[in-house]
Amino acid sequence: MTITVIGHLCIDEIHLPENEGGDGAQEKLFGGIFYSLATLANLVGPGDRIQPVLGVGEEEYESFKKSLESLPGVDTKGIYKFKGSSNHVHLFYEAGKNNRVECSNHIAEPIPFSRIKQFLDADGILINMVSGFDITLETLDSVRMAVRDARTPIHFDFHSLTLGIDPENKRFRRPVTDWRRWCFMLNSVQMSEHEALGLTAEHFDEQTLVNHLMPLMVNALVITRGERGVSAILQENKKLTRHDFPAVSSRPTIDPTGCGDVFGAAFLYHYILRKNYRNAAEFANRVAGVKSTFKGTDGLSALAGKLTPDSVVR
């Protein structure tokens, strides 16, 4: 199995409320696409290959590449260096809530198609819009056309594409006017319920969004709901079915950062293996639940032993 992963790196600095163990800024950690890569590295088997394609600021390049080289199955040929720093993200969580304020600076330039095209010979492609500026719509069109004949599945996580950025570097929800073009001819699309409600200029409710989105040649739409689980809307022979999965975790949530990145990686991995979107959503929901119980990515090393592709309820 070969999986190509496209998206920006970010350096996360997490700020938790004092009554939830926070005492100001927490340790800076590799975030964004690193969560996706660490998840895949701890799920794939011997001989499988993960191909990340992204630029890294010269300040973090050596340490990031070293971190990737410690992960099994990761091929670093698609990593390139640019001047300056990688995207730094400050995440301020509100006490007792899932809400957070996000600030970003040093967002990298979009990844050009010329960097991506040599890595499109793959069994699946994960595009994670970590910064929202990871690739342009024209680059996505080029990717779609390049893999169309091979029918390579593309999983697209809207993530920060639904966020603008103000002069103080604070991110804010804003509609994506050309969202239909972004969704067109994508095998599976992922967004949180907040992203779904803020996606359209028409302020579509969730069901109306589903009715407009699924005819765009989308086979699966997964809407993540944090501690309330995930919904999967699937299309087969022009018939829609909906599957709701509650959150799965035997321990309390410690840090939700990166759960969406983990979900998307686990979803595509399982789909490539079993070609079943429903089971892929259930499996990814379980993996994201495991991630919510610890900070960072070190705990992902337990995935291979705890969650196999056949550990879903059918």
**Residue 200 covered by a domain:** yes
**Residue 177 and residue 190: Cα distance in Å, rounded?**
17
**Residue 225 and residue 211: Cα distance in Å, rounded?**
19
Residue 252 to residues 200, 246, 259, 270, 290, Cα–Cα distance (Å): 33, 14, 14, 25, 10
**Residue 307 covered by a domain:** no
**Residue 43 covered by a domain:** yes
Mean pLDDT by 10 residues, the chain (314 residues): 95 70 63 93 94 94 92 95 86 67 86 98 97 97 97 97 91 94 97 95 96 96 94 92 87 78 96 96 92 76 69 52
Q: How many domains does the chain have?
A: 1
Yes or no: say if 68 and 79 are a contact pair by the CB < 8 Å rule.
Answer: yes
pLDDT score of 168: 87
Local structure of 231: helix, strand or coil: strand
Yes or no: say if 303 and 265 are a contact pair by the CB < 8 Å rule.
Answer: no
CATH number at residue 127: 3.40.1190.20
**Residue 310 covered by a domain:** no
pLDDT score of 93: 73
**Residue 285 covered by a domain:** yes
176: domain range?
2-299
**Residue 293 covered by a domain:** yes
Predicted structure pTM score:
0.91
pLDDT score of 314: 41
**Residue 18 covered by a domain:** yes
**Residue 257 covered by a domain:** yes
Yes or no: say if 52 and 32 are a contact pair by the CB < 8 Å rule.
Answer: no
Strands 220-224 and 230-236: antiparallel
